[in-house]
Amino acid sequence: MQQKLIYLMLTTFSILLPIFGLIAAGFIARKTGVLGPTAASELNRYVVWLALPALLFDIMAHSHWQALFKPAFIYVYLLGTGVIFVFILLWRLNQGSHLADASVDGVAAAYSNTGYVGFPLLFLVFGSSSQVPTTIASIIVVCILFSIAIMLIETGLQAEKALHHRMKHVFSAVFRNPLVVSPIAGVLVAASGLTLPNSIETFLHLLSDSASPCALVSLGLFLASNVNQADSVDMRAKQIAWVLTFTKLIAQPLLVAVLALWVFDMNNTLAMMAILLAALPTGTGPFMLAEYYQRDAFITAQTIMLSTLISLVTLTILLNLM
């Protein structure tokens, strides 16, 4: 049993290690002056405007929708994500947080790192059968959760305007946002049955492959620029980061487990996949939103770091239980 636990922990660590490495690369690059004080924001803008839209378009344009139609899994993961997001959103609003900040925190508590951790970890445990459920989870968090959060953030930022001006601006801003437009465009391409030329496919793959690495380096740059601030940050902000981390690693997988095992009729293997996906650490998505909309990204950055570190233990325990 002890050898099995050690093996699971080492396996999980080997999957998480590249994440720590990329964050450390950004941290060191900023601390040594290789990259300047605006590098985090500029690199994040590259991710939001170029790399991530290419990734979202590519996912949606190449999704085989008949294979992705797994109603029970979709309901379970969508509910597990949505309930956590709404709970944290209302909790933060009740604390007096701005709607934009509360929305970012809600995403941080519900956004699983399916790209960097989910695909390799589930493939290791379940084999190729995990690809479709992981893709569904990715679409839910990266497309649906992102779109809802962007609408709420834009609504919060326009709160002082008259209602008709506010709604006009919100819808205009949302449908000019590349993170909303790109997956919609991908769905249209998939529905039309068009085959993209190889040159465009290569272009999209080159851009999309850089999304996660650049976002993680940007996170490291941000942490390095704010490492001195961390000591003076309000203790309440650190406590919120711990609450979001607990919610992501414990509350969300428990909720998904209840839905998958007792509420919906799911086969055991698919239920285990849903629970494991819900138990993944927070991805870089909420940090991108915070930086893009120039909100305070400290809580989000701390949540990503804490959840990634602690997930080494929680994922090992969960894998052993499975």
**Amino acid letter, 206:** L
In this prediction the pTM is 0.83
Each of the 322 residues of the chain gets a pLDDT tens digit; together they read 667 777 777 777 777 788 788 888 998 998 898 988 888 888 888 888 888 888 888 877 877 767 778 889 999 999 999 999 999 999 999 999 999 999 999 999 999 988 778 888 888 888 878 888 888 898 888 888 988 898 898 888 776 555 555 566 666 666 677 777 888 888 888 888 788 889 989 999 999 888 888 888 888 888 787 765 555 556 788 899 999 999 999 999 999 999 999 998 788 999 999 999 999 999 888 888 888 888 888 899 889 889 988 988 888 888 877 7
Q: Which CATH number fits domain 2-321: 1.20.1530.20, 2.40.50.100, 3.20.20.10, 1.10.1740.10?
A: 1.20.1530.20
